[in-house]
Structure 1
């Protein structure tokens, strides 16, 4: 016969179970009405930025690979006993990728700022003139 199994729980688990199901107090407020046309324009602008970034990434990665294929001498040139092609892949490509990522984030933020400037303010009545 095997010994009787015991269920072990953490003190935190017991506290959480004793607390029961309470409604969450940290829920975000319900957003106001949405201007669907402005949201659609923002979405399309951000998608254009993303497509441009992916195209540049593709050119960068395939361009480096194509350069190694087109110029095999890069594999024979050595710096400190390490082939130049390895150095370019290991150390040269990452600053370019970082720069591309930084450019993408700044472009996306620029698009959002432009959309926020163009969007009418919610607290103003569009029919009322000042």
Structure 2
């Protein structure tokens, strides 16, 4: 077996680039400072924006968890919804479709607007 051909690992250039990026420090996530501004002040403003957006993301994740667990808990607490049908569909399925997805959409739109508002607040003097 040792005399056979040697195996060669083949990866795409994109994979190699992605693997090398993993070792960079977290500073590359910050937006570049604005030209003409004091660099230290701009970096601090970028860090503050990053922290605000991270808190916003954690709040959104918490609300998402509450929504999903709340709907699941409601369906577990009310098993009778499986037996009730509306237009031939179980009420529990309709609750998931009629309440779950629209609430997910509202949560996503609210998150994006709040993140954009935080960015606009940073840019405005």
Give the TM-score category using the shorter length: 0.5 to 0.7
TM-score (norm 2): 0.65
Structure 1: where are the runs of 5+ without partners?
1-30, 119-130
Instruction: Identify the residue that residue 97 of structure 1 maps to in structure 2.
Output: 104
Decide which of 88, 95, 99 is 1:81's aligned counterpart.
88
Decide which of 103, 116, 121 is 1:109's aligned counterpart.
116
Following superposition, the deviation at residue 91 of structure 1 comes to: 3.4
Q: CA RMSD in A?
A: 1.5
Following superposition, the deviation at residue 92 of structure 1 comes to: 2.6
Instruction: Identify the residue that residue 63 of structure 2 maps to in structure 1.
Output: 56
Query: Which structure has the larger Rg over C-alpha atoms?
Result: 1
Q: Give, in whole Å, the separation in 2 of the partners of 1:48 and 1:115.
A: 16
Q: Give, in whole Å, the separation in 2 of the partners of 1:110 and 1:47.
A: 14
Instruction: Identify the residue that residue 3 of structure 2 maps to in structure 1.
Output: none
**Per-residue displacement from partner, 1:87-122 (whole Å, max 9, x unpaired)?**
12233311111111100000001111111124xxxx
Give the structure with the larger helix fraction.
2
**Per-residue displacement from partner, 1:16-63 (whole Å, max 9, x unpaired)?**
xxxxxxxxxxxxxxx737421111100000001111111111100110
Q: Give, in whole Å, the separation in 2 of the partners of 1:76 and 1:59.
A: 25
Higher relative contact order (CA 8 A, sep 6+): 1
TM-score (norm 1): 0.62
Following superposition, the deviation at residue 86 of structure 1 comes to: 0.8
- Post-superposition, which runs of at least 4 consecutive aligned residues in structure 1 deviate over 4 A? none
Count of residues in correspondence between the two structures: 88
